[in-house]
Structure 1
Amino acid sequence: MREKEIISDWFHQYSDDIYNFLLYRVGKADVEDLVQEVFIKAMKGLHTFKGNSNPRTWLYSIARNIAIDEIRRRNRNKWRTMLSFDSSHEPKIDQTPEQLLHLSEENRLLYEAIQSLKSSYRDVIVLRGVKGFSVQETAEILQWSENKTRSTYHRAKMALQQRVGGATHE
């Protein structure tokens, strides 16, 4: 199969999952651009894909790196905006993902709780708990050992339970 056909097949199979992962990870409305970037990088790097792992885990690894880069870029822009004294550079307020997706109240609370976790907890919760990756697949995507993946997932679930439990009892 030609490279474009392979990427096209993967896009049809995995783009919705990648979109949801990136939405949880970066929490902004411009996720479509990031999904495209994932598949562009995959096409450019297809020759490096050895086939030793599932293409889904490889694509999630690319998506995770793109999400990290995007968050860094946003943080740099936020600092530039904060350091600027010109009022024409005030940050614009985007619609939140939950407004865009019309999430139910329960899903919105869960989404907000996941967003409040530190990034390593957020990654492992989304990959294992939301997307259903195995320990091995999650470890591969995050470039962690399986033991670290298990223990971080356990800690992340505990932190999430505290946040969700605390939000419902306030």
Structure 2
Amino acid sequence: MANEEIITSWFRQYSDDVYNFLIYYVGNGDVDDMVQEVFIKALRNIESFQYQSKPRTWLFSIARNVAIDKIRKHNREKRKEDKLIQYQTGTNELSPEEIYQFSETKREVFQAMQSLNKNYYEVLLLRGINELSVQETASILNWTPSKVKVTFHRAIKKLTKEMGGIK
């Protein structure tokens, strides 16, 4: 019962952060279901949490893996669908509902971020948007802190260039 109470407490504290992380990571889809999946996995694996990092960092690691699995599954389904109907649609387009939800500036930043390579995108998402520390980001991505710093700096430069030099 104590584990359920811990996860319930973490859900109250971090579910919005996990939700926002997943929105930026996958861009659309059943994010509510993914948030639930994150906390179910956390409950099932709470014994493996060593308290060497903050719970939020651990939950973001789980969320990242859930998002990667969701993207892989989506890509497999998309390839099957494409083969079946021989029709390919744009995969990076946002739905009208999502466009409405983002302000113009946020939408532009999000679109520019999507054009970046995966490492830049992930480090911007964790450090820039979710405001995780260098150490937390390094833990989630399994990088060294120096790699996080360098990659984040390069990602900011590339994002600025992609957005036409807006600072």
TM-score, normalising length: structure 2 = 0.89
Residues in 2 aligned to 1:86 and 1:125: alpha-carbon distance in whole angstroms: 35
**Residues 116, 134 of structure 1: CA spacing in aligned structure 2 closer, same or farther, 3 A cutoff?**
same
Matched residues, number: 165
TM-score, normalising length: structure 1 = 0.88
Q: Equivalent residue for 2:23?
A: 23
- Cα deviation, residue 86, structure 1: 7.6
Q: Equivalent residue for 1:162?
A: 161
Where structure 2 has 5 or more consecutive residues not aligned to the other structure, the ranges are none
- Cα deviation, residue 29, structure 1: 3.3
Q: Equivalent residue for 2:149?
A: 150
- The one-letter amino acid of 1:98's match is E
Where structure 1 has 5 or more consecutive residues not aligned to the other structure, the ranges are none
| Off by >3 Å, runs of 4+ in structure 1 | none
Instruction: Report if the CA contact (8 A) 2:99-2:107 is conserved.
Output: no
Give the 5 Å matches for 1:46-125: 46-85=46-85, 95=95, 98-99=98-99, 101=101, 103-125=102-124
- Cα deviation, residue 53, structure 1: 1.1
Q: Equivalent residue for 1:35?
A: 35
Per-residue deviation, residues 1-39 of structure 1 (Å, max 9, x unmatched): 711111011011111111111111111131111111100
**Residues 53, 97 of structure 1: CA spacing in aligned structure 2 closer, same or farther, 3 A cutoff?**
farther
Instruction: Report if the CA contact (8 A) 2:57-2:140 is conserved.
Output: yes
- Cα deviation, residue 100, structure 1: 5.0
Give the 5 Å matches for 1:123-138: 123-138=122-137
Q: Give the root-mean-square deviation of aligned CA atoms.
A: 2.4
